Amino acid sequence: MPGPVPIEEHAERLARHFTLHLPDGPGPHPVVIQLHGCGGRQPLHDTYAQAAKAAGIASIVVDSYTLRGISRRAAQLTICTGLRLRGAERAIDLHAVLHWLDGQAWVDPGRIAAAGWSHGGWTIMDALSGAGAHAGDSARLDRLKAAFLVYPYAGLPSLTATRGWGVYRPKVSAVLGTRDAVAGHIMPRRALDRLSRDGLEVEVLTLEGATHSFDDPDADDPRTRYNADQAAQARAFFVRSLEQAFDS
C-alpha cells in the first residue's frame, strides 16, 4: 500500500477485510481485536473467536494482507523473514480498528482488548510502544483493557524491551512455548519482564514442549507442531484473561 493515508481512510479500507463474531443481542458487547501472525489470517482465529463469543465477547478478526495485496506465499517470503511490514509499520492497523470502533453502537467502549499471534503480537506491542499513530490517534490506545499475546515476536527491531509502553497500562497475558524455534521464549520474556518492572500486571502461561503455532492445525512450517490439548489450554486462558480484564 502506498504512503501514509488518513486514519479514517485506512480504517474504512481495512474494515472491508474484518470478520465479525458477535454474541446474540444488540450489545453493547466487550470486544477483542485479533491480529494474525506473519503467515496471514488462519481458521484458528475463528476458533478463538467462537470461544470468546460463547463467553459473551465479540471478536474482530483482522486480515492485514488482502488490503495490501499480499498473498500467503509473499508473506512467508518477505514478512516472515522481516524484509517488510514490520510490527511498527503494521501498528497503524490497530489504530485504525480502534478508530473504526468509534462508530459501532454494539461496542462497549470501556471493554476493548487486542490479541495478537506472533507478528500480530509484535504489532500490538510496537503500537503500545508508540509506533504507527497519526497525530491524536494514540489516545485511543488508552481504551485497551487487555493485551493478549500468543508466542509474540519480541526480538530486534521490536520496541517493547527498550521503550516499554509509557502511559498505557492494559492487563498483559501471554502464551509462550518452551520449544518455540521461531519467536523463542527468551526475548518475549525479556519484553514481558520490562513491562512487569514498569508496574503492569503481567500473567504468562508457559507450555512445556510447545512449539511456535502449536495452536494452529493448518500451520505448514516444519518447526511447528500442533498440539490439541495445549491449544485448548490457550483458548481457555484467552477467555479467562479477557473476562478478568473486562471485570476489573
Into how many domains does the chain fold? 1
Please, is 130 exposed, middle or buried when counting C-beta atoms within 10 Å of its C-beta (0-12, 13-18, 19+)? middle
Residue 1 lies in a domain: no
- Percent over 90 (pLDDT), the chain: 92
User: Phi then psi for 110, rounded to 5 degrees?
Assistant: -95, 0
pLDDT-wise least confident of 3-7, 76-80, 122-126, 145-149: 3-7
Q: What pLDDT does residue 3 have? A: 53
In a domain, 132, yes or no: yes
Q: Which domain holds residue 122?
A: 7-247
pLDDT band at 2 (very low <50, low <70, confident <90, very high): very low
- Residue 17: inside a domain: yes
pLDDT score, position 81: 95
pLDDT at 64 over 90: yes
Q: What is the pTM of this model?
A: 0.96
Flag whether pLDDT at 231 surpasses 80. yes
**Region 226-246 average pLDDT:** 98
Per-residue DSSP letter, 178: T
Q: Could you give the count of Cα atoms lying within 13 Å of 38 in the half-sphere of its Cβ?
A: 25
Domain assignment of residue 2, yes or no = no
218 domain-assigned? yes
Q: What average pLDDT does the chain have?
A: 95
Is residue 110 in a domain?
yes
For 203-221, what is each residue's pLDDT tens digit? 999 999 999 999 999 998 9
Which CATH number goes with the domain that contains 118? Answer: 3.40.50.1820
pLDDT tens figures, 135-162: 567 779 999 999 999 999 999 999 999 9
